[in-house]
Structures are given as C-alpha cells and as structure tokens.
Amino acid sequence: MRSTATNDATHTPHVLELFAAFLLIGATSFGGGVIAHLRSSLVVKHRWTDDETFVEMLTISQTLPGLKAVNLAMLLGDRLRGTLGAVVAVAGICLPGAALMYAVGVMYHIERDRRLVVAALEGVAPAAVGLILATTVSLGRKSFARLDDFVFVALTVICINRLHVPMPRVLIGVGLLAVAWYAFLGREGGKGSGGPQRD
Amino acid sequence: MIDDVLALGRVFAYLSLITLGGGIAAYPELNNLAVDAHGWLTAAQLDYLFGVGQAAPGPNLVSVAIGAATAGLPGALVVLIAFVGPPALLAFVVGRTWARLRTRRWVVSLQRALTPVSIGLLLAGCLSFAKGAITGWMTFTLAAIVFLVVLRTRVNPALMLLAGAAAGILAFAVA
C-alpha cells in the first residue's frame, strides 16, 4: 500500500461547513442510499476526503453495530474536525429525518393520500438501486480489478443473498479467509501483494 | 407516560446495539419488542412506518416515529438519543483506536482483507433492495439510467431520486 500522505492535499472544512454539508445530506438523501450521498458530497463535491479513506471508514462502520450512515458520519466527522466535527456530523445527518419521522409518528393514523406516496416510492426505489450500485462500483473499483479481491466480494454476496448466512458470521468467516489469503500471498514473496492498482 | 418513556429508552438502546448490517437486521427483534411485548403499535403499522423510515432522508429513524406515537416529543427525543447514542459512541472509540493503530502491520492487513468484504456487503444490500424495487422492465430501465448517469456525471443524487419519484407518479398513479 502506498502511503496515505495524499490526504494532506484535501483541505480541512470549517465546523459549520461540515455541519451544513451533513445537514444537506440528512435532508436530501430520501429513498435510501445515504452512503451514495455521503460519497457524492464529501469525496466528489467538497474533496474533503478521498475514496481510500471513505472505504476505510465505511468498512469500520459496517463492522460495528448501529446504522451505517450514523457510524460513517461519526468517523468522518471525527477524522475531519475532531470530536466537535463528529458531533455536528451525526446531528446534521440525523436531524432532518428525525424531525420528519417525529411528524409521521404523531399523525401515523392519518391515511390520506397514501396512494400518491406509494406511487412516488415505486419510482424512487429503482432510482435508489441505480444510485447505490453506481456508488458501490465507484468505491469498489480497486476490489473489482483484482481477481482475488473480486472473489471475496462475490463470496460475501453469495453468503448473504443466496445462502442467507447472518451478516456477523459472513464478516468473520470471509474476513478470516481473506486475512489468511493475503498473509499467504505476503509470504509467497510479495508477487501478489506488489500490485495495488490505483487510478 | 414516564414508564413508557423509560421502556422506550431501554428497548431502543438495546436494539441499537444488535443492529449489525443495516436497520433491517434488527427488524424481527423490533417487531417482538414493540408489537408483541409492549403493544406500542400493530405489526401492520410497524411495517408501514418502517417503509416510510426507509424512504425518509438520512438513516432509517423509524424508532423516532414509534417514540413519538407512544409518548409524544419526550418519547421521540429519548428514543433518538437511546438509538443513535450507544453505537455512535462505540464508533467514536473504535475510530480513535483504529487511527492510532493504523500503521501497525496487522491492522493494515486486516483492513486489506476486510475491504472486499465491505464492498460485498454494500453490493449484497443493494441486490436485496433491488429484489423488491425492480419489478419489471420499466423499473429496470429507470435503475439502469440512474446507474449510468451517476457513474458518468457529477449530478446531485437527490435530483435522480426526484426524477424517479416523478416517473413513479406518472407511471403508477396517473396510469
């Protein structure tokens, strides 16, 4: 792996900028796929971080309990602006949705216009699928480029979607397999571990 | 009322820590506790609220709606803190520890190994979401168009979802 010194090239946001960015994501990321919005804002638009760091934080947030988007906001907020950054990131991403769900909870017995909402959701859902898939491809570009990485990606998908193995077991099982494989490659004399493909 | 608020806090703090791999992972236990054990709402209501939470912006905070429906604003606030707080705190501590250890050899190789698994989890979530969302050639085309546009351009993702909502209303409600 190359050193991550390239991170210094990305500029550090002000706490208020950070809060505004996460608040905007929290308010506009309807229909699922908060991860896609986070990457689009933080990596593509603001360039506060890069795909490599984003994937690293995503991996940690998926390994821990809790909602992925909240964990990711916590980790990225902390990485970008320390403790205060973490707090404003989590607050920003949660508040709009929380306010909306509060309103929904207070009037959940009202049945009016549900048909229109359902129709809109029928269109939002496939759009969200396209969005999440595109983000997965962007984030996984490196993993899809190497055969052994790709095999571990595929193995994870098969275990979850086909064999319906519980997620923590997949994480540990495939994770350990991958650890063993890369340790084996490293011992082979680095012929496999020498080619981190980067674009 | 105060009993309800306390019970809400307890239940959602517990649920927050068993939510591993997305909100849907804790759904069966949420159903057990909120519907069967406490009777805060019916299974059908939970199903509807969960769908709304999934569609609402940000992380799925169906928990807040349940808190609000059961005990108003105090319920909603307690639930928000109980559900978001514990895992967020854990993520903070783990993130700091990770940052301190990230140059260690075993951490580097652990990260190297877990990255494809993490991408796989993202893909798996996307595929199971697609199973319910892609219902025919129309929804498939919509997903494909959004996929290509997002991959090729820097368009704001919210615009693509709005376009999807408009297409949905045109296709399913008007027709």
pLDDT band at A187 (very low <50, low <70, confident <90, very high): confident
Residue A159 lies inside a defined structural domain of this protein:
yes
Chain A residues close to B82, C-beta within 8 Å: none
What whole-number distance in Å separates Cα of residue A114 and Cα of residue B173? 11
Number of domains in chain A: 2
Are B23 and A56 in contact by the 8 Å Cβ rule? The answer is no
Are A156 and B117 in contact by the 8 Å Cβ rule? The answer is yes
**Sign for the pseudo-dihedral over CA of B83, B89, B90, B95:** positive
> Within this chain, do residues A69 and A122 fall inside the same structural domain, yes or no?
yes
What whole-number distance in Å separates Cα of residue A73 and Cα of residue A50? 15
Q: What is the pLDDT, as a whole number, of residue A147? A: 92
> Within this chain, do residues A70 and A82 fall inside the same structural domain, yes or no?
yes
Q: What is the dihedral of CA B33, A31, B58, A72, to 10 degrees?
A: 90
Q: Is B24 touching A (CB cutoff 8 A)?
A: no
> Within this chain, do residues A81 and A50 fall inside the same structural domain, yes or no?
yes
Chain A closest-CA separation from residue B75 CA (Å)? 10
B161 vs A75, A90, A128: nearest CB: A128
> Within this chain, do residues A130 and A164 fall inside the same structural domain, yes or no?
no
Chain A closest-CA separation from residue B122 CA (Å)? 7
Cβ pairs bridging A and B (under 8 Å):
370
Question: Running DSSP on this structure, what letter comes out for residue A108?
Answer: T
Q: What is the pLDDT, as a whole number, of residue A1? A: 39
ipTM score: 0.85
pLDDT by residue, tens only, chain B of 175 residues: 788 999 999 999 999 998 876 666 678 888 889 999 999 988 888 877 887 888 889 999 999 999 999 999 999 999 999 999 999 999 999 999 999 998 888 888 888 888 999 899 889 888 887 888 888 999 999 999 999 999 999 888 888 888 998 998 888 766 5
pTM here is 0.82
| DSSP annotation string for B26-77 | GHHHHIIIIIIIS-SS-HHHHHHHHHHHHHSSSS--HHHHHHHHHHHHHHHH
> Within this chain, do residues A85 and A128 fall inside the same structural domain, yes or no?
yes
Residue A197 lies inside a defined structural domain of this protein:
no
> Within this chain, do residues A165 and A70 fall inside the same structural domain, yes or no?
no
Residue A195 lies inside a defined structural domain of this protein:
no
> Within this chain, do residues A158 and A107 fall inside the same structural domain, yes or no?
no
Residue B91 CB partners (closer than 8 Å, separation 6+): A60, A61, A64, A66, A70, A71, A74, A75
Residue A13 lies inside a defined structural domain of this protein:
yes
At residue B8's C-alpha, the angle toward residues B54 and A121, to 5°, is 15
* pLDDT (mean) for A69-79: 96
pLDDT band at A111 (very low <50, low <70, confident <90, very high): low
Q: What is the pLDDT, as a whole number, of residue B35? A: 92
What whole-number distance in Å separates Cα of residue B142 and Cα of residue B128? 17
Q: Which of A47, A72, A70 is nearest to A59 (CA)?
A: A72
Q: How far is CA B77 from the centre of its chain?
A: 18
A44 vs B51, B61, B154: nearest CB: B154
Chain A closest-CA separation from residue B175 CA (Å)? 11
pLDDT in tens, B118-151: 899 889 888 887 888 888 999 999 999 999 999 9
Residue A34 lies inside a defined structural domain of this protein:
yes
Residue A9 lies inside a defined structural domain of this protein:
yes
Burial B147-164 (b: 16+ CB within 10 A, else e): bebbeeeeebbbebbbbb
| For residue A188, pLDDT beyond 80 | no
B169 vs A79, A108, A123: nearest CB: A123
* pLDDT (mean) for A28-41: 88
What whole-number distance in Å separates Cα of residue B139 and Cα of residue B136? 6
pLDDT in tens, A115-136: 777 788 788 888 988 988 998 9
Q: What is the pLDDT, as a whole number, of residue B23? A: 65
> Within this chain, do residues A7 and A63 fall inside the same structural domain, yes or no?
yes
> Within this chain, do residues A118 and A87 fall inside the same structural domain, yes or no?
yes
> Within this chain, do residues A65 and A3 fall inside the same structural domain, yes or no?
yes
Residue A28 lies inside a defined structural domain of this protein:
yes
Q: Which of A21, A38, A15, A13 is nearest to A92 (CA)?
A: A21
> Within this chain, do residues A76 and A148 fall inside the same structural domain, yes or no?
no
Q: Is A88 touching B (CB cutoff 8 A)?
A: no
- For residue A46 the two structure tokens come to 């603001």
Chain B residues close to A182, C-beta within 8 Å: 109, 112-113
Stretch among A75-79, A184-188, B120-124 having the lowest mean pLDDT? A184-188
- Domain range spanning residue A181? 144-190
* pLDDT (mean) for A51-66: 92
Residue A188 CB partners (closer than 8 Å, separation 6+): none
> Within this chain, do residues A149 and A68 fall inside the same structural domain, yes or no?
no
Q: Is B61 touching A (CB cutoff 8 A)?
A: yes
